[in-house]
Structures are given as structure tokens and as C-alpha cells.
């Protein structure tokens, strides 16, 4: 019979050892020993880190306190329009005969922009023209006689009155047929085309002064307490920005909106922003050119108020502070910090008052964007 050692150990010896009580005891002891050894090494490593922190200090990042400009503002989304904007309307029902300008053209006030036919029987164009010319001729003759004392004062006054009435009628008729720009500015909209029939009162075109823009924002009862006329403002559309100010703040709440209206006006040199666009509008409510500011997360809150961790002689010190104002994620410190104090900006969540620290990095000056 051939003896196979490998089969013997597999088929007989190993199962016998595995089922024996001494073997199981040895196996459990070995597992416990390995586990205990790992735990011991972890505890040793933990104790080593804590010991390093005690001896060399907790690694932290700091930033030196330097005064910097800081401002608070309210932000809105609002539509901008020309500061001066006026719509010219038809004074008579008829068809448009001629349009002299196009959208985008600049026109001075009283420039004729559109013509209507003069043969409209409703306006009596020729009758008004002839009446004006006759009255002017008669008045010129009476005026010369009056200057030479050839007629009485009463006759002169009667002739002047007739002339002024005829002149007013003629001017009114001309306004019906010659539609003029109501203000100086750019034509931003033309509502009709040549030969279009329009009714009396229909809007014909719009003229806007683009050199200045205006908008209205709505304030809550809390916001209106901080906004006054004269406060600086800005409007941003895409990558373009214009500056201005608050020109009016209503004293009474609008009952429909349940808010207070604030009117703003902006200078628009070069007409960098178009009328009608929707822009981000900001009203600056406060500015301090020498403020001490921190990131909100660097200020610790507790039952006794706010505090900040600073480094003094390689030791973390907790100093109480007061917060003056907030804007976004930044806070202005009212008291508690001095120029060149080293505020802990990294590692403050592990540091405590009186703990030795080791400065690993000095951060850049904090600046409000």
C-alpha cells in the first residue's frame, strides 16, 4: 500500500487538529493577541500626536488684523428705464404720411419726427393757415398805426387778440400734422409704419434720455428705516456698471404692494446700459474705510457672547468681541480686536484657550469683494 502524506494531512490530521480543544484555544489566543497588539499601537499613536501637540503646539493658520474698507448694502432686481421718457401720441385720426427718423436716432425737443396729411377735412389746415396769415398782416398794420398814435389803445388790443387766437389755431393744426419729439433724447420705439391708419390718442413713438437711467425698488418696513435720499447706489447688468443715488423714499406704504417705494437715478455716460433691461441694483447703507472684518466662521458663538481665538506668545487666547454689522459671510468687529492681532483662521475648531500652538501659515489680508 502506498502512503500519501499530503492526503493524510488533508484528510485526517488537519480535521483532527481543528476539532481538538487545545487547537481551538491556541487559535482564539492568537486572534486576541493580534487584536490587542493593533489596539495598543493605535493608542500609542494617539498618545504620540497629543504629546506632540503639547510639546510643539497645535498647528494653526493665522491672519493679521488689518483695517480694510467695508460696506453693507441691500440688493434688488429691477428694470431700468430712461430717466426722462415720453411718448408722442396722435392728435388726429388719419394715416401716417412720412417718418423722418428711425429707432436709435437722437432728436432734440420739438424736432418733427412724423408727418400726417394736411388735406384732412377734420383739421381745416388751409383755413387755419390763411386765417393766421391774414391776422398777422392786419396786426402788423395796426401796430404801425398805434406806434404813430394813429389809432386808439383799444383798437390795438383788439387786433392783437385776434392775431394771437389765429396764431394759436395755426400752431394747433400744425401739431396735428407735424408730430414733434416731446423731449430731447433717443427714439427707443416707433409703433407705426408709413401708411398705417391710426386713431386719435394712439401712441406713435417713444423718446428716452439714455444719459441717465431710473428705477424703483420696493422696501420692507424694516429696510425703509435704513434708506434715505442721497445714499449711493449702483446698477449692474452683465459686465457693465453705472452709479447713482437714491432720489426719493416714500413716507407712506403702498397698500397694493405692502412696501415703500424708493426711486433711484443713475448716470449712464456713453449709454453703456440700455433702457428696459433688468439689472441687479444695490443701495449702499453703510461704509467704513477702516473696518476690522472677519469671516463669519472665524467668530465663535457661546452662551457668553461672541469670541475669537488669537495667538499670543505661541498660545491660543480666547478674546470676547462684539459684532457691529454683517454682510454676506463677512462680519465687522465692533470691539475686542486690535491692529496686528493674529486671528486663528485654521485649526480653531481644535484649539482652546491657553493651548500651545504652532503657526504653520500666515493668510493674506481679508478684503471685501
Structure confidence at residue 271 (pLDDT): 86
Q: Distance from CA of residue 201 to its chain's centroid?
A: 37
Query: Is residue 100 a part of any domain in this protein?
Result: yes
| SS3 (DSSP) at 36 | helix
Q: Are residues 270 and 298 in the same domain?
A: no
Burial of 66 (0-12, 13-18, 19+ CB in 10 A): middle
Q: Are residues 99 and 159 in the same domain?
A: yes
Query: Is residue 367 a part of any domain in this protein?
Result: no
Structure confidence at residue 52 (pLDDT): 64
Distance in angstroms (rounded) separating the CA atoms of residues 209 and 82: 5
Q: Which residue has the cell 408709413?
A: 194
Q: Which domain holds residue 136?
A: 86-204
Element (H, E) at 299: none
Q: Are residues 100 and 156 in the same domain?
A: yes
Q: Are residues 117 and 146 in the same domain?
A: yes
Count structural domains, the chain: 4
Q: How is 76-143 classified by DSSP, letter by letter?
A: EEEE-EEEEEEEEE-SS-EE--EE---TT-EE-TT-EEEE--S--TTTTHHHHHHHHHHHHHHHHHHH
What is the pairing mode between strands 357-362 and 58-64? parallel
Q: Are residues 280 and 323 in the same domain?
A: no
Residue finishing a domain among 175, 204, 233: 204
Distance in angstroms (rounded) separating the CA atoms of residues 308 and 147: 92
CATH number at residue 153: 2.40.50.100
Structure confidence at residue 218 (pLDDT): 98
Residue finishing a domain among 239, 273, 288: 288
Q: Are residues 159 and 246 in the same domain?
A: no
Q: Could you tell me which residues are beta bridge partners of residue 44? A: none
Structure confidence at residue 210 (pLDDT): 86
Q: Are residues 200 and 91 in the same domain?
A: yes
Query: Is residue 105 a part of any domain in this protein?
Result: yes
With CA atoms as reference, report the closest residue to 62 among 305, 316, 296: 316
CATH number at residue 345: 2.40.420.20
CATH number at residue 278: 2.40.30.170
Q: Distance from CA of residue 136 to its chain's centroid?
A: 59
With a cut of 50, which residues of the chain have pLDDT below it? 1-15, 17-44
Query: Is residue 369 a part of any domain in this protein?
Result: no
pTM of the full predicted structure?
0.64
Structure confidence at residue 18 (pLDDT): 47
Q: Are residues 138 and 189 in the same domain?
A: yes
Q: Are residues 104 and 150 in the same domain?
A: yes
Structure confidence at residue 327 (pLDDT): 96
Q: Are residues 214 and 78 in the same domain?
A: yes
Query: Is residue 314 a part of any domain in this protein?
Result: yes
Amino acid at each position: 500500500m502506498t502512503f500519501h502524506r499530503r492526503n493524510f494531512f488533508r484528510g485526517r490530521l488537519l480535521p483532527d487538529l481543528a476539532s481538538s480543544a487545545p487547537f481551538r484555544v491556541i487559535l482564539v489566543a492568537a486572534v486576541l493577541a493580534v487584536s490587542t497588539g493593533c489596539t495598543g499601537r493605535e493608542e500609542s499613536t494617539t498618545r504620540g500626536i497629543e504629546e506632540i501637540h503639547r510639546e510643539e503646539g497645535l498647528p494653526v493658520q493665522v491672519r493679521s488684523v488689518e483695517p480694510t474698507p467695508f460696506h453693507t448694502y441691500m440688493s434688488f432686481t429691477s428694470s431700468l428705464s430712461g430717466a426722462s421718457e415720453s411718448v408722442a401720441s396722435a392728435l388726429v385720426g388719419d394715416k401716417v404720411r412720412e417718418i423722418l427718423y428711425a429707432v436709435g436716432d437722437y432728436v432734440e425737443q420739438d424736432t418733427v419726427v412724423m408727418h400726417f396729411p394736411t388735406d384732412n377735412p377734420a383739421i381745416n389746415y388751409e383755413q387755419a393757415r390763411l386765417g393766421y396769415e391774414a391776422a398777422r398782416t392786419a396786426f402788423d398794420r395796426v401796430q404801425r398805426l398805434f406806434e404813430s398814435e394813429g389809432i386808439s389803445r383799444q383798437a390795438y388790443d383788439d387786433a392783437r387778440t385776434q392775431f394771437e387766437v389765429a396764431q394759436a389755431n395755426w400752431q394747433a393744426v400744425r401739431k396735428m400734422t407735424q408730430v414733434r419729439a416731446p423731449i430731447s433724447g433717443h427714439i427707443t420705439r416707433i409703433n407705426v409704419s408709413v401708411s398705417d391708419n391710426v386713431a386719435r390718442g394712439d401712441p406713435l413713438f417713444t423718446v428716452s434720455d439714455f444719459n441717465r437711467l431710473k428705477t424703483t425698488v420696493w422696501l420692507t418696513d424694516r429696510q425703509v428705516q435704513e434708506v434715505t435720499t442721497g445714499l449711493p447706489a449702483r446698477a449692474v447688468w452683465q459686465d457693465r456698471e453705472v452709479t447713482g443715488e437714491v432720489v426719493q423714499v416714500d413716507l407712506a406704504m403702498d397698500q397694493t404692494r405692502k412696501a415703500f417705494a424708493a426711486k433711484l437715478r443713475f448716470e449712464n455716460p456713453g449709454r453703456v446700459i440700455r433702457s428696459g433691461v433688468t439689472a441687479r441694483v444695490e443701495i449702499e447703507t453703510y461704509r467704513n474705510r477702516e473696518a476690522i472684518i472677519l469671516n463669519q466662521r472665524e467668530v465663535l458663538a457661546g452662551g457668553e457672547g461672541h469670541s475669537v481665538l488669537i495667538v499670543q506668545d505661541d498660545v491660543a487666547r480666547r478674546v470676547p468681541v462684539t459684532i457691529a454689522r454683517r454682510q454676506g459671510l463677512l462680519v465687522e468687529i465692533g470691539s475686542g480686536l486690535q491692529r496686528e492681532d493674529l486671528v486663528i483662521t485654521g485649526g480653531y475648531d481644535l484649539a482652546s484657550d491657553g493651548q500651545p500652538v504652532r503657526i504653520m501659515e500666515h493668510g493674506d489680508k481679508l478684503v471685501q469683494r
